[in-house]
Structure 1
């Protein structure tokens, strides 16, 4: 690689934008740590559902699966409502997703996230089933189009050449995008 993310910290500011780029192979690799830090900035999040439930997500953890070319976010979940005893109900949700590039915002985003794991603490039976349905729908909505990495215009421009993002490949320790 021309420069690594660790080496970028020691570079003068104009060269720091080149961190993660490999112009010999026309690729950019974002590490798991870089992606985790960007995701964490967007949390906690919450949304009201049916005017009586508030679903919140916090403490996101990024998972990467090279075999399926998907990313996953596991987050602590809370569901609050005056109808629930105890309130809030706590749990964990994992949502996995393919990735897409959004050229308008220069961002790698989750694409059609699907809840794969949903666990609630202290709730069983039909109540658990209903809360799982609510939590699943809201978690997928909250994470739909979530940005994993946003590029600046300067990062995609070298000299007179402006690169566009092509193929996206999920690796076990990062995400590589093709520069074209």
Structure 2
């Protein structure tokens, strides 16, 4: 008898937990929004880096590694920091740092959140002379623009998108109170 009662209680708890998980996603959409935290976005970035990008017809390779995403308090944009390495163009192979801030936008073709109007904040390349740093900065700016067009920072999963209410679609993406908030539109 006691074993049956324990099994029954465990079953009810598991069903309740599964329902709460599903209700969390559905209720977010019912409120016409769903929110993501910086750690959620960070996990997807970690899985996609390091990355190497060839530029200038393969004469220069830019290696981005160790992405660090944060949402500064009170800011309406997120911050991304990377370690950067350049190969080619008389590079000495040392690693530098690059930092940018950006809003986010939703792209239905990738089902992802992409950088929107990214701004380069910091570009440090140790051991590079001023001419090389200037040229490399231009390469990094073009790389960031290309990345913003084609690569999402975060991809919405199929399960979440399948729960969109009928006739609704993903609309505005805002950064508010330290979270990325995806709002629905008609």
TM-score by length of structure 2 reads 0.73
User: Which of residues 160, 180, 184 in structure 2 aligns to 1:175?
Assistant: 180
Aligned position for 2:143: 138
Q: CA RMSD in A?
A: 3.0
d(CA) in 2 for partners of 1:74, 1:16: 34
Q: Does 1:27 align with 2:28?
A: no
User: Which of residues 102, 107, 116 in structure 2 aligns to 1:111?
Assistant: 116
d(CA) in 2 for partners of 1:106, 1:33: 19
Which of the two has greater strand per residue? 1
Aligned position for 2:5: none
Task: Go from structure 1 to structure 2 and tell me whether the alpha carbon gap of 1:53 and 1:178 turns closer, same or farther (over 3 Å shift).
Answer: same
Which of the two has greater helix per residue? 2
1:1-180 mapped onto 2 (5 Å cutoff)? 11-12=17-18, 15-16=21-22, 18-19=24-25, 22-23=28-29, 25-50=31-56, 51-65=58-72, 69-81=76-88, 83-84=89-90, 86=92, 88-158=93-163, 161=166, 163-180=168-185
d(CA) in 1 for partners of 2:37, 2:169: 19
d(CA) in 2 for partners of 1:46, 1:172: 33
Q: How many residues align?
A: 169
TM-score by length of structure 1 reads 0.75
Aligned position for 1:6: none
What per-residue deviation string (whole Å, max 9, x for no partner) do you get for residues 58-112 of structure 1?
111113257553223211000011x4252x1321111222221112332221124
Runs of at least 5 residues in structure 1 that lack an aligned partner in the other structure: 1-9
Deviates more, 1:22-31 or 1:50-59: 22-31
Aligned position for 2:13: none
d(CA) in 1 for partners of 2:164, 2:84: 46
1:29, CA displacement in angstroms? 0.6
Task: Go from structure 1 to structure 2 and tell me whether the alpha carbon gap of 1:14 and 1:106 turns closer, same or farther (over 3 Å shift).
Answer: farther
d(CA) in 1 for partners of 2:174, 2:165: 26
d(CA) in 1 for partners of 2:171, 2:143: 30
Larger-gyration structure (1/2):
2
Task: Go from structure 1 to structure 2 and tell me whether the alpha carbon gap of 1:133 and 1:42 turns closer, same or farther (over 3 Å shift).
Answer: same
Contact 1:165 1:179 in 2 (8 A): yes
